[in-house]
Amino acid sequence: MPFFRRQSLKTQLLVIVFLALLLPAAAMFYDIFFAAKTDDVLIHATDKKLTRIANLVHDQVRRELKSYPGNSQPLEEVFTAVTDPLIKHYPGVRICLYDKDSGDITILGYLHEFGTRLPEEKKERERRIYNETKAGINAVLASGNAISRLGKTYDDQFLERLVPLQINSRTIAVIWAEEMMHPIFARSSRMRLVIRYVILGVFGLGIAASLATIFGLVRRINIIKDGTVKLEQNLNYALPQMPGEMGQITSAINKMARGLIEKEQLIDQYRRSENLIAMGRTITEIAHELRAPVSVIQAAAQAMALNFQDLPRLDEYIQQIDRQVERHSKLINELLDFGRPDPGTIEKMDINELIKSVLTANEPLISKTGIKLNYPSAGHKPLVIQGNAEKLKQVFTNLIINALEAMRQNGVLTIESHAAGEQVAVSVRDTGEGIPPEDLPNIFEPFYTKKAGGNGLGLAICKRIVQIHGGSIEVKSVKGSGSEFIVSLPLYERDVMAVE
């Protein structure tokens, strides 16, 4: 059945029609043109023989009766005398007489060559045989014509030829000869019966198969219908797999839904990048406007420090102004970095050297926090990439500062680099507080921060710089045990000792 269902709908329907119509049609053809013909031939041959015998007996009995008009010899005796010698010549033929006046029956010979199979009384046999032939006798008596008919014994079929015996235009008796039909006749009619049952069975099966196919089709169509309704509400829903044409439809619909999802994502991405570009432009303008007053404040504070040295607590105020000016400068620089997507001057460099210089620059900060640095630089082979060194340094600086901010005194900062296929992967791992899963999708968004003095621009800048270098940045983090940021950049050359 699964094999059948895997076939195309057309094949399925053709097979069903073939089973339901062609096979029964062939059986009927055989029944009409062969089986019936065989019967005709058989009946015709037997009928010819029985007609000859019945006529012979009839003619002789009639002659006997006519040649002695005053003959008082009973009809039964004349019939027996005429028929007896014939019986030996025609084994299996039974010749009988029905005396209309007395209602007596005389039977000579047996249908079965070895005599009756059941021991039965003579009278009983006569009654049975009369009952079997009664319809024929009555028909002959009523019409006055000879007839042939098929009769049935308790276990078989026979053919009989009945002839009226007429004396002076009056039917006084019926003479008949009968013989079992050839066994092939019974077999062929049994065969026809079997064929009819087979035809019926095949018809039934055909109808059942058609109904099953139709119900199956309807069920699958309903699944598709319900599925499309669900798809309308949720494009991520997938219609179930199915065999045959229905399966092709469901896969086509699923493919279409996936295409729509991809398209929506692309449109979303496009909108976001458009927004980022627009935002970048605005941010750069604002940052430029902010830079001038901050520089003036810084210069004024420095002038105050020189000219009013004697004023009490001036140092304290000047330091406060410096701290705030520094914060503002940092914000302005970050804003300018974020707003300017241009990668600047591109050069070849060994990423390991770049990381070393970042670590050297941040050494005072790292040692101040008491955090252990784990940078297995020994045996480092150069991993050459192409890019803007200043911008890439900023990426690793931001990641290192975030890691330091996430850890307490006894934390460990691990930095590793290796080539992975056509890429260089640099991992910055800390043992800090980790990032809750619900925050992970947002940390690269501009202005997303969970820190009191944070601008939320560090990771947004990292992502931008890495992207304009043709790379990517990903994060793995477990809340409470640490985070790992992996920066992947296209590898320019591997194992090059000298970098220009």
Q: How far is the CB of 442 from ligand ATP (least distance, A)?
A: 8
Residue 7 structure tokens: 């076939």
Alpha-carbon distance of 211 to 102, in angstroms, equals: 65
How big is the site for ligand ATP, counted in residues (CB under 6 A)? 22
Which position among 246, 394, 430, 492 is part of the footprint of ligand ATP (CB under 6 A)? 430
Tell me the window of 55-63, 87-95, 363-371, 402-410 that interacts with ligand ATP (CB under 6 A). 402-410
Tokens 């605005």 belong to residue: 282
SS3 461: helix
Give which of ligand ATP, Mg ion, none residue 443 binds (C-beta under 5 to 8 Å, depending on kind): ligand ATP
Q: Is 406 one of the binding residues for ligand ATP (CB under 6 A)?
A: yes
**Sequence letter at residue 228:** T
Alpha-carbon distance of 400 to 415, in angstroms, equals: 9
- Please identify, using beta-carbon distances, which residue of 178 and 334 lies nearer to Mg ion: 334
Alpha-carbon distance of 145 to 142, in angstroms, equals: 8
How big is the site for Mg ion, counted in residues (CB under 5 A)? 2
Which position among 250, 388, 402, 417 is part of the footprint of ligand ATP (CB under 6 A)? 402
Alpha-carbon distance of 221 to 227, in angstroms, equals: 10
- Please identify, using beta-carbon distances, which residue of 102 and 442 lies nearer to ligand ATP: 442
Which position among 254, 284, 449, 472 is part of the footprint of ligand ATP (CB under 6 A)? 449
Give which of ligand ATP, Mg ion, none residue 451 binds (C-beta under 5 to 8 Å, depending on kind): ligand ATP
Residue 27 structure tokens: 């059986």
Which position among 151, 227, 280, 458 is part of the footprint of ligand ATP (CB under 6 A)? 458
Q: Residue 427: which H helix or E strand, with range?
A: strand 423-430
Biggest alpha carbon distance in the chain? 186
Tell me the window of 89-97, 169-177, 380-388, 428-436 that interacts with ligand ATP (CB under 6 A). 428-436
Q: Is 443 one of the binding residues for ligand ATP (CB under 6 A)?
A: yes
Which position among 78, 395, 457, 473 is part of the footprint of ligand ATP (CB under 6 A)? 457
Binding string, residues 330-349; x marks residues near ligand ATP by CB under 6 A: ----x---------------
Residue 217 structure tokens: 């089709």
- Please identify, using beta-carbon distances, which residue of 223 and 486 lies nearer to ligand ATP: 486
Q: Give the chain's end-to-end CA distance (angstroms, integer).
A: 72
**Which among 354, 435, 363, 364 is positioned nearest to 395, based on CA atoms?**
354
Q: How far is the CB of 427 from Mg ion (least distance, A)?
A: 17
Q: Is 448 one of the binding residues for ligand ATP (CB under 6 A)?
A: yes
Q: Is 403 one of the binding residues for ligand ATP (CB under 6 A)?
A: yes
CA 202, 204, 208, 214 torsion-angle sign? positive
Q: Which of residues 423-462 bind Mg ion (CB under 5 A)?
A: 458
Exposed, middle or buried: residue 92 (CB in 10 Å: 0-12, 13-18, 19+)?
Answer: middle
Q: Is 402 one of the binding residues for Mg ion (CB under 5 A)?
A: yes
Q: Partners of 147 in the beta sheet?
A: 162
Q: How far is the CB of 483 from ligand ATP (least distance, A)?
A: 4
What phi and psi values does residue 72 have, to the nearest 5 degrees?
-100, 5
Residue 313 structure tokens: 């607590």
277-to-72, 403, 430 alpha-carbon distances in Å: 140, 28, 32
Tell me the window of 48-56, 104-112, 195-203, 456-464 that interacts with ligand ATP (CB under 6 A). 456-464
- Please identify, using beta-carbon distances, which residue of 178 and 334 lies nearer to ligand ATP: 334
**Which among 380, 387, 381, 390 is positioned nearest to 357, based on CA atoms?**
390
Tell me the window of 45-53, 396-404, 422-430, 473-481 that interacts with Mg ion (CB under 5 A). 396-404
SS3 478: strand
Q: How far is the CB of 292 from Mg ion (least distance, A)?
A: 26
**Which among 325, 334, 348, 346 is positioned nearest to 395, based on CA atoms?**
334
Q: How far is the CB of 361 from ligand ATP (least distance, A)?
A: 17
Residues at the contact surface with ligand ATP, assessed by CB under 6 A: 334, 398, 402-403, 406, 430, 432-433, 435, 443, 448-451, 454-460, 483
Residues at the contact surface with Mg ion, assessed by CB under 5 A: 402, 458
